[in-house]
């Protein structure tokens, strides 16, 4: 399954991303959240993992 960035205003696809493995996703999340996220924002990372898992991506 490819991932897409969709403009919520007009529904148009902005960018399509190739499928990646669970390990690649975990690495990307860890890298992005290493210093960029405040402690309270960790909830967003966990939520995204949960959504991906529910959609069969994890």
In a domain, 9, yes or no: no
In a domain, 30, yes or no: yes
pTM for this prediction: 0.35
Residue 10, pLDDT > 90, answer yes
Q: What's phi and psi for 39, nearest 5 deg?
A: -50, -40
Rg, the chain, Cα only: 13
Residue 9, pLDDT > 70, answer yes
Domain total in the chain = 1
pLDDT band at 11 (very low <50, low <70, confident <90, very high): very high
- DSSP code per residue over 1-39: --EEEE-TTT--EEEEE----HHHHHHHHHHHHHHHS-G
In a domain, 53, yes or no: yes
- Domain, as residue range, for 54: 21-58
The distance from CA 37 to its chain's CA centroid, rounded to whole angstroms, is 14
Q: Tell me: the pLDDT tens digits for 41-57?
A: 667 777 778 888 877 76
């Amino acid at each position: 399954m490819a991932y897409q960035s969709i403009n919520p205003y007009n529904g148009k696809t902005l960018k399509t991303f190739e499928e990646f493995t669970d390990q690649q996703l975990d690495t990307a999340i860890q890298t992005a959240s290493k210093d960029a996220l405040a402690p309270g924002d960790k909830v967003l990372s966990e939520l995204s993992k949960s959504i991906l898992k529910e959609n069969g991506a994890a």
